Chains A and B, each alone.
Chain A
Amino acid sequence: MKIIKKAQSGSFESSDIIVLIEPVAKDKGRHIEIDSTVMLEYGESIEKLILQKLDDYDISDIHLIVKDKGALEPTINARLETAIIRASNLQKGTL
């Protein structure tokens, strides 16, 4: 899947996570920045979820920033998916 525009999902509310995505030039790789209120305990698992999601969508070039406020796995997955779909201009059934 190709990232073609900037996109965002999620919120700064507790138990949520903000995901910001922007395209990068081909072969620039994955640039991931993680900031979390539970970085020490869960930073690694958040990164693992991000990498898994990027693999699922076959995305190798991306700039992705997350700011986490204690989101659980289903929320992280949902916000990543929403941001990726929006950044690829493939979102359906929304305004």
Chain B
Amino acid sequence: MKKKRRTMLYIPGNNPAMLQQGGVYGADSILLDLEDAVALNQKDAARILVRNILQSTNFYDSEVCVRVNHLDTPFGLEDLNEIVPLQPDAIRFPKTETVEELAKLIKIIEAIEDKHNLPHDKMTIHAMIETALGVQNVFEIAKFSKRVDAITIGGQDLTADMNIISTKDGSGIDLARKMIIMAAKANKIDAIDTVFVDVNDEEGLRKETEYGKQIGFTGKAVINPRQIDIIHDVYMPTEEEIRKAYRIMKEFKKNKKAGIGVFAIDGKMVDAPVMTRAAHVLELANIDFDSI
């Protein structure tokens, strides 16, 4: 079953208390952050700390990603040199704007992997889109390499780059959100929404997550563990949806054996797109299709 990415919890890379507890919050993914969450004069300390934590800490079922600094900074290359040999599940690359810089990143990653006799197909890359140029190029970025298995949007940096005011309704970045989703869907990879910064506004978070789910985001970045349950709740299908999906998939299996491709349930036609949606509902509900 494909691993879910409903929540991606940011953890500051120079905070030992939060890093060592990263796996206990129940987020689908945790993001150990060497970039914006770390002061410029503590980049070395955070990198060394994250390396030590990665070597010794159990993060349970959470996917482990490390957000490195951009290669245009004095920190990015050293981040990769320290982190790539440990092969976290993914590297998150900030401010991805062009396929050329993605090519440069992958070349460096693969050179480090070669040096350490590591495969090129284990650790994936999440390309983070945070500028107008990145949004314009997002389809090419999403399809550039099989290693890119998620596109994420960084709303704060994007609003700054677009020189617009960040609003709770997200209207300024709505087009960017949809372009990113479409690029990800066209390439069959995940699309992750930006953080909701007001941790005290739980209704606002729920509303934004519902909207994100409706337009196609696979999940959402999280800045506080308190936000995790709300997002998981939004992404959890209702009992009625699960029962319906279960019936569809059961009938599908039965009819497949009999060589029937299209059938009806309660008088409604069930074809391939309906089954795809039903399979997705069961996946979100942690029900293994093969067990039906």
A93 touches B17 (CB 8 A): no
B38 CB, min distance to chain A CBs, angstroms: 10
Interface string of A59-95 (1 = CB under 8 A from B): 0000000000001111101110110011000011111
Which residues 9-34 of A have a CB within 8 angstroms of B?
A: 9-10, 13-16
Main secondary structure of the interface of B (DSSP, over half): helix
A77 touches B78 (CB 8 A): no
B20 touches A72 (CB 8 A): yes
B20 touches A74 (CB 8 A): yes
A86 to B53, CA, bound (A): 20
A75 to B47, CA, bound (A): 12
A82 to B52, CA, bound (A): 11
A70 to B15, CA, bound (A): 13
> B178 contacts the other chain (Cβ, under 8 Å)?
no
A74 touches B57 (CB 8 A): yes
B56 touches A74 (CB 8 A): yes
A73 to B42, CA, bound (A): 20
- Residues in A with CB closer than 8 Å to B75 are 93-94
A13 to B15, CA, bound (A): 9
Interface residues on B, range: 20 to 34
B48 touches A81 (CB 8 A): yes
> B74 contacts the other chain (Cβ, under 8 Å)?
yes
A78 touches B44 (CB 8 A): no
> B43 contacts the other chain (Cβ, under 8 Å)?
yes
- Residues in A with CB closer than 8 Å to B56 are 73-74
Q: Assess A93 versus B45: contact at CB under 8 Å? Given A15-B17, A74-B53, A77-B52.
A: no
The chain A residue with its CB closest to the CB of B47 is A93
A63 to B35, CA, bound (A): 32
- Residues in B with CB closer than 8 Å to A75 are 16, 20, 49, 52-53
B172 CB, min distance to chain A CBs, angstroms: 32
B49 touches A78 (CB 8 A): yes
A93 to B70, CA, bound (A): 12
Interface string of B30-60 (1 = CB under 8 A from A): 0000000000111111011101110111000
- Residues in B with CB closer than 8 Å to A86 are 44
A74 touches B55 (CB 8 A): yes
Q: Assess A93 versus B49: contact at CB under 8 Å? Given A14-B17, A15-B16, A74-B20.
A: no
- Residues in A with CB closer than 8 Å to B193 are none
18 A-B pairs within 8 Å (CB atoms) are namely A10-B45, A13-B17, A14-B17, A72-B16, A74-B20, A74-B52, A75-B16, A75-B52, A78-B45, A85-B48, A86-B44, A91-B44, A92-B78, A93-B43, A93-B76, A94-B74, A95-B41, A95-B43
User: What 4 A-B pairs come out closest when comparing CB atoms?
Assistant: A93-B78, A15-B17, A94-B44, A74-B52
| A74-B53, A93-B74 known, 7 other contacts, Cβ within 8 Å | A15-B20, A72-B20, A74-B20, A75-B20, A92-B78, A93-B77, A94-B74
